[in-house]
Amino acid sequence: MSCLVNPQAMRETDLILGPTRTAEKIAVVGAGPAGLAFAEAAAERGHRVTLFEEQPELGGQFQLARRIPGKEDYAHTIRYFTTRLKDLGVTVRTGHRATAQDLAFADRVVIATGVHPRQPGIPGDTGPTVLGYKEVLEGAPVGQRVAVIGAGGIGYDVAHFLTHNPSADFYAEWGIDRSLEARGGLLAPAPEPPLRQVTVLQRSTTKPGSRLGPTTGWIHRLELRMANVEFITGVEYQEITDRGIRVSVPAPEPAGGHTQEGGGVALESPRTETLVEVDTVVLCAGQESRNELALELAGDSRPVHVIGGADVAAELDAKRAIKQAVELAAALP
Ligand SMILES: Cc1cc2nc3c(=O)[nH]c(=O)nc-3n(C[C@H](O)[C@H](O)[C@H](O)COP(=O)(O)OP(=O)(O)OC[C@H]3O[C@@H](n4cnc5c(N)ncnc54)[C@H](O)[C@@H]3O)c2cc1C
């Protein structure tokens, strides 16, 4: 058993935040889950922590995650950290993009600057019908027919966000009889019609959603199936235009399968071109570590640590980010 936001759960006897012997001035850059968790744990140990966040609010990508239907609880995680940092006397500077000069006062620096969304480099991917997942989750207008590029965890979340009707009745949708009169308390599920027609595209030919988390992946796959989301795999992207996205996909196998000539030499599989006609294309094509400040401080004589997404960009990985943060705070003198 483990906990996303509390890495000490089940490790109470070996991950210990005891009082420090030498209180340091520590600058933390970035108030996503990694920076928040580090600031809390280090302050709890008695260090003097200053936390910088360029956005007006704390939370980092949890500010986006909390907008996904079913992930509203992440707002409570942000609320928890906000209260804890206040109680522990952490100096919080929001709305300020920290530079190397801002950090000169500190004995130690922790870089928790997170990630950038990756631009996939498809011709037309900066066009007027193209949006990033951040803009979509922050409320940018989205058309009725949508293509989502990327079937990772964020692609799944965005497809759910775009199709889910917020006024849907959870119990009716999932076929739960609250009166418990139906056999096993189960009725036929009655999902609301999806708000939009969404197609999710991925480069790989693996089964979509196969890399989602083992405990909740089945729910996310089922949500998109109930919303009639279509998946296209093995896609090669050609171009995004204002009519949609032109792709090539593996051609359907002819009846009876392929006959391979040439004494077993592998032939290039045939492909076919198609235009996926949509009003909006949403990019969920992965992330890259945001580490400009870390590179700038690379030759620093003080200890500089890089944690969370700034260290490893791995999509849905708040658990690793928070664990790394608390373990670092526990290991300080
Ligand atoms: C829609 C969505 C759903 C998700 N769902 C899940 C999930 O279910 N489970 C899961 O484990 N993960 C999930 N994630 C991923 C999770 O949010 C990230 O793994 C996590 O936020 C990474 O934390 P971080 O602190 O490293 O970086 P971030 O959250 O990216 O925070 C970095 C912060 O640093 C700030 N910053 C950067 N540079 C500076 C600077 N120079 N000065 C000041 N501030 C700066 C940024 O403004 C940002 O607030 C989801 C992400 C999204 C977008």
CATH number, domain of 61, equals 3.40.50.720
Residue nearest to atom 15 of ligand 1 (CA): 316
- State how far the Cα of 194 lies from the Cα of 304, in Å rounded to an integer: 48
Same domain, 179 and 197: yes
Same domain, 150 and 214: yes
Assess whether the C-beta atom of 317 lies below 6 angstroms from ligand 1: yes
CB 48 within 8 Å of CB 70? no
Same domain, 197 and 319: no
Same domain, 218 and 97: no
Residue 6 included in any domain: no
Assess whether the C-beta atom of 35 lies below 6 angstroms from ligand 1: yes
Same domain, 110 and 246: no
Residue 303 included in any domain: yes
Place of tokens 């775009």: 162
Residue nearest to atom 3 of ligand 1 (CA): 65
Residue 267 is predicted with a pLDDT of: 59
Q: In which band, very low, low, confident or very high, does the pLDDT at 315 lie, cut at 50, 70 and 90?
A: confident
Same domain, 149 and 276: yes
Q: Which of 120-124, 145-149, 268-272 has the lowest mean pLDDT?
A: 268-272
Same domain, 311 and 239: no
CB 286 within 8 Å of CB 306? no
Q: Mean of the pLDDT values across residues 311-324?
A: 93
- State how far the Cα of 143 lies from the Cα of 131, in Å rounded to an integer: 11
Q: Determine the distance separating the centroid of ligand 1 and the alpha carbon of 65, expressed in angstroms.
A: 9
Q: In which band, very low, low, confident or very high, does the pLDDT at 314 lie, cut at 50, 70 and 90?
A: confident
Q: In which band, very low, low, confident or very high, does the pLDDT at 270 lie, cut at 50, 70 and 90?
A: confident
Q: Determine the distance separating the centroid of ligand 1 and the alpha carbon of 264, expressed in angstroms.
A: 49
Q: What predicted TM-score, i.e. pTM, was given to this entire model? A: 0.93
Residue nearest to atom 45 of ligand 1 (CA): 30
Q: Mean of the pLDDT values across residues 173-177?
A: 94
Q: Mean of the pLDDT values across residues 297-326?
A: 94
Same domain, 51 and 75: yes
Assess whether the C-beta atom of 134 lies below 6 angstroms from ligand 1: no
Residue 172 included in any domain: yes
CB half-sphere exposure, 56, CA atoms < 13 A: 0
The pick from 50, 77, 102, 113 for probing ligand 1's pocket by mutation, whose C-beta has the most ligand atoms within 8 angstroms, reads 113
Residue 124 included in any domain: no
Same domain, 274 and 321: no
Q: Mean of the pLDDT values across residues 143-158?
A: 97
Residue 138 included in any domain: yes
Same domain, 155 and 221: yes
pLDDT > 70? residue 264? no
pLDDT > 80? residue 253? no
pLDDT in tens, 187-201: 999 999 999 999 999
- State how far the Cα of 177 lies from the Cα of 185, in Å rounded to an integer: 5
Q: Determine the distance separating the centroid of ligand 1 and the alpha carbon of 87, expressed in angstroms.
A: 23
Assess whether the C-beta atom of 53 lies below 6 angstroms from ligand 1: yes
- State how far the Cα of 204 lies from the Cα of 264, in Å rounded to an integer: 24
Residue 154 included in any domain: yes
Please tell me the total count of domains within the chain: 2
Assess whether the C-beta atom of 27 lies below 6 angstroms from ligand 1: no
Assess whether the C-beta atom of 157 lies below 6 angstroms from ligand 1: yes
Q: Determine the distance separating the centroid of ligand 1 and the alpha carbon of 64, expressed in angstroms.
A: 9
Q: Mean of the pLDDT values across residues 71-85?
A: 97
Q: In which band, very low, low, confident or very high, does the pLDDT at 251 lie, cut at 50, 70 and 90?
A: confident
Residue spans of alpha helices (H) in 188-314: 217-226, 292-296
Copy the structure tokens of residue 88: 């522990």
Assess whether the C-beta atom of 318 lies below 6 angstroms from ligand 1: yes
Q: What is the CATH number of the domain that holds 222?
A: 3.50.50.60
Same domain, 221 and 316: no
Among 218, 239, 228, CA closest to 198: 228
Residue 110 included in any domain: yes
CB half-sphere exposure, 219, CA atoms < 13 A: 10
CB half-sphere exposure, 34, CA atoms < 13 A: 27
Domain span including residue 235: 130-253+267-283
Residue nearest to atom 34 of ligand 1 (CA): 30
Please tell me which of 93-102, 206-215, 294-303 the model is most confident about, judged by mean pLDDT. 93-102
Please identify, by atom number, the ligand 1 atom nearest to the C-alpha of residue 34: 25
Residue 310 included in any domain: yes
Same domain, 271 and 170: yes
Assess whether the C-beta atom of 282 lies below 6 angstroms from ligand 1: no
